Chain A
Amino acid sequence: QKEVEQDPGPLSVPEGAIVSLNCTYSNSAFQYFMWYRQYSRKGPELLMYTYSSGNKEDGRFTAQVDKSSKYISLFIRDSQPSDSATYLCAANAGGTSYGKLTFGQGTILTVHP
């Protein structure tokens, strides 16, 4: 079993829809949680970065972490065609695990006009 599981999709939604992307994880030591967006033939780009449980909002994006159920979510409001990309969740235990981010497989999202 992978430490971070993510439904690869693909997910296709109409412009303006609310998108929900989800990951589960198994390592209870994970404390830092990230969402990256990756456009085709580009490197992953950091979208959201959260520590421990709770919500974080940045514009149209909201990240949620529920450590009790080991569940990570990213919500995109008023989705736009420019949001079409692969979204990767990632987690890290911090401390001596250094940069050993564990990534989900990525969800391919298409927002059509």
Chain B
Amino acid sequence: RKEVEQDPGPFNVPEGATVAFNCTYSNSASQSFFWYRQDCRKEPKLLMSVYSSGNEDGRFTAQLNRASQYISLLIRDSKLSDSATYLCVVLYGYGQNFVFGPGTRLSVLP
């Protein structure tokens, strides 16, 4: 079983739609959680960190459920520019052991 798993995708949604991505992780010792965004043939960039209480940044909302070892990302009012691959990232322990999920690709259609 992979340490970090994500919805396989791809997700094809119309502009303005709300879309949710799910991520599960297997190691309960995980310390920190992130969502990264990766555009085609580009490097990953941090979208947002995920906090225990859940957090929101504009149209993006991240939730964490430690008991179920589950992370989610909700995108409201999708824009064409949201088209990308979204990577779930988990940091284990107190080192720098970042584990990336395989990513979920989103295409927002006009």
Are A and B part of the same complex?
no
Which residues of A are in contact with B by a Cβ distance under 8 Å? none
Which residues of B are in contact with A by a Cβ distance under 8 Å? none
